[in-house]
Amino acid sequence: MAGHSKFKNIMHRKNAQDAKRAKVFTKIGKILTIAARSGIDPKMNPSLRSALDTAKRANMPNENIQRAINKAADKNSDIEVRYTGYGPENTAFLIEAITDNTNRTVTELRMLFNKHGNGLTELSFMFDHVMIANIENTDADTVLETLIDYDIKDIYEDDGINVIADFSQMSEIQKALDAKFEKVICEAIYKPTNMINVNDIDKLSKFIDILEDHDDVQNAWHNCESI
């Protein structure tokens, strides 16, 4: 009986892991589909290149990737939406979501923000749309020399050299880095203009988990310094 119980526990964990993995693949698939609408050549489409990098890091099967890209031809499927609001501890959030039903998504997110925070409201001005590039096996001076013609907002070292610049420069910066370095990952992010500290980290962390578990939510950007 003990062995049978152990086997059941193992299978329960495996099923949970499989379900989580499938959910991750579904979310990445949506990103791939949206990105591919701007072109299926990753060399000319930095958003698709970034989505493909994400898919590879998640070990997403090639057939899943191709299926998601093929769906880009259906212009009436999922769309990108963004919402902002105050969560717990008056933390500002910018939510990126992909949905086939905006009414459902905004209703569900409004309920979550009303329950755990101070509701949805216009806070886009509190976030800058920027790109971040991670370059391995190099140093900051070499990267800065490569990007001398671009307006770099920040550069720092963390698992490689990281560069932050305005999103509008993402395509050109990626081309410049690809021409010089072998391992380059570029992503678009929303960076808070001001960070805050909060008293109840656990409460905020649980809310972030709830948001990230939502089927439509791709990213939950916030301005908490401690998370």
* Total count of domains within the chain: 3
Residue 4 has pLDDT above 50, yes or no: no
Tell me the CATH number at 9: 1.10.10.200
pTM score of the predicted model? 0.82
Final residue belonging to a domain, choices 57, 73, 89: 73
Q: Residue 14 has what pLDDT? A: 43
- pLDDT tens profile 208-226: 999 999 999 999 999 999 8
162 three-class SS: strand
Tell me the CATH number at 141: 3.30.70.980
Q: Which long-range contacts (CB under 8 A, 24 or more apart) does 19-28 make?
A: 23/215, 24/58, 25/58, 25/60, 25/61, 25/64, 26/215, 27/98, 27/215, 27/218, 28/54, 28/55, 28/58, 28/60, 28/68
Cα–Cα distances (Å) from 62 to 29, 56, 98, in that order, read: 11, 9, 21
Final residue belonging to a domain, choices 41, 73, 105: 73
Asked whether residue 227 is domain-assigned, the answer is: no
Asked whether residue 130 is domain-assigned, the answer is: yes
Give yes or no for a contact between 54 and 28, defined as CB atoms under 8 angstroms apart: yes
- pLDDT tens profile 106-150: 999 999 999 999 999 999 999 999 999 999 999 999 999 999 999
Range of the domain at 39: 2-73
